[in-house]
Amino acid sequence: MDFLVTGGTDGVGRAITRHALAHGHRVMAVGHTAEKGDAWLAEAAQAGAADRAVFFRADLRLVTENTRTLDAVRGWTDRVDRLVLCAQRYQTRIGHTAEGLERNFALSYLSRFLLSFGLLPQLRAAGASLVVNVCGTGTPVGRLRWHDLQFTSGGRGFQALMQAARATDLLGVAFAGHPPTGGLPFVLYNPDVVRTNLQREIDQPWRMLAAVTLALRGKPVEEGVRPLLRLLADPPTAALTAFRAAQEIDLQGRRYARSYRPSDAQRLLEETNRLLVRLGHPELGAR
């Protein structure tokens, strides 16, 4: 099988790419730094998998870098059996990319939108393919700031972070409900509390809170990915499922239904299509 893993040289993503290479699959890992990419390639070579490992450096906060990634994947393979979206950098201070997008929204949501919809032909060509969005699903917090999704008129950084979390959940709903996807399985997966360095860029007091939580509840990455590895080996057949570790989340249950409303997902998809038109990339929208 051919795997594409964003954030594939660190944390959860690295654990997935290592496992996939060890089981004979071809893997393209997308990462932010050349140093980590070189280290990942060296490790693959030591394991005898150099001919099946490809690294692509990209800053997925930028739409232009996502388009480069899409082109790279299309040049590498005509099929994607497993698309695993792990790239993440938590930001609790309002900031914008060179393209004018709020940073959490750009990476946690928009990049995942662009890659999942943009690789539909390759996913369909694979037959029994699967998209996995590694995120914080199962946490019913965060609201969409419909009047100002990019936080251009102010707002708090933590609100932006939580908005991105809600948006990436709604991406799964939108993907599953979009007719051209043909019911291709999409999994929202929360590894729960694992010991990664995602908290390195968040401000106080959130950094201290994250450190305490990790110290008290944090699991090694290898433990946190085990349920996900089982899902990758034996995917669900439903168009959309969500898991917190091994526990499946009832998206229609009383606690969560409001967070996964199809009407909100459709509205966000339409807003995203309009945003891409404004950015000069209408061809990247979900049609």
Q: Which of 63, 49, 39, 151 shows the shortest CA–CA distance to 112?
A: 63
Give me the mean pLDDT over the 267-278 stretch: 98
Residues 107, 186: Cα–Cα separation, whole Å: 18
Q: Which is more confidently placed, 206 or 105?
A: 105
Name the pairing type of β-strands 240-244 and 186-190.
parallel
Contacts by 260-268 with C-beta closer than 8 Å and gap 24+? Answer: 260/169, 260/170, 260/172, 260/173, 261/173, 262/173, 262/177, 264/144, 264/170, 264/173, 265/170, 265/171, 265/173, 265/174, 265/177, 266/174, 266/177, 267/146, 268/144, 268/167, 268/170, 268/171, 268/174
pLDDT value, residue 221: 76
pLDDT value, residue 259: 93
Could you tell me what percent of the chain has a pLDDT over 90?
80
Contact 69, 104 (CB under 8 A): no
Q: What are the φ/ψ torsions at residue 2 (nearest 5 degrees)? A: -105, 125
Residue 30 clears pLDDT 90, i.e. is over it: yes
pLDDT digits (tens, 9 = 90+) for 187-223: 999 998 664 555 555 555 544 444 444 444 457 778 8
pLDDT value, residue 213: 44
pLDDT digits (tens, 9 = 90+) for 117-147: 999 999 999 999 999 999 999 988 899 999 9
Give me the mean pLDDT over the 28-50 stretch: 97
Residue 89 clears pLDDT 90, i.e. is over it: no
Could you tell me what percent of the chain has a pLDDT over 70?
91
Residues 227, 136: Cα–Cα separation, whole Å: 15
Q: Give the H/E segment covering residue 198.
A: none
pLDDT value, residue 202: 52
Contact 276, 284 (CB under 8 A): yes
pLDDT value, residue 206: 45
pLDDT value, residue 198: 52
Contacts of 14 (CB under 8 A, 6+ apart): 8, 29, 40, 221
Contact 161, 104 (CB under 8 A): yes
Q: Is the dihedral of CA 99, 105, 106, 112 positive or negative?
A: negative
Residue 3 clears pLDDT 80, i.e. is over it: yes
3-state secondary structure labels for all residues of 87-149: CCCCCCCCCECCCCCEHHHHHHHHHHHHHHHHCHHHHHHHCCCEEEEECCCCCCCCCCCCCCC
* Residue range 82-284 in CATH 1.20.120.520: no
Residue 246 clears pLDDT 80, i.e. is over it: yes
pLDDT value, residue 31: 97
Range name among 75-79, 112-116, 194-198, 276-280 with the lowest pLDDT average: 194-198
pLDDT value, residue 224: 84
pLDDT value, residue 91: 85
Q: Which of 222, 256, 254, 221 shows the shortest CA–CA distance to 241?
A: 256
Rounded-to-10 torsion of CA 171, 104, 264, 127: 0
Whose structure tokens read 């893997």?
A: 27
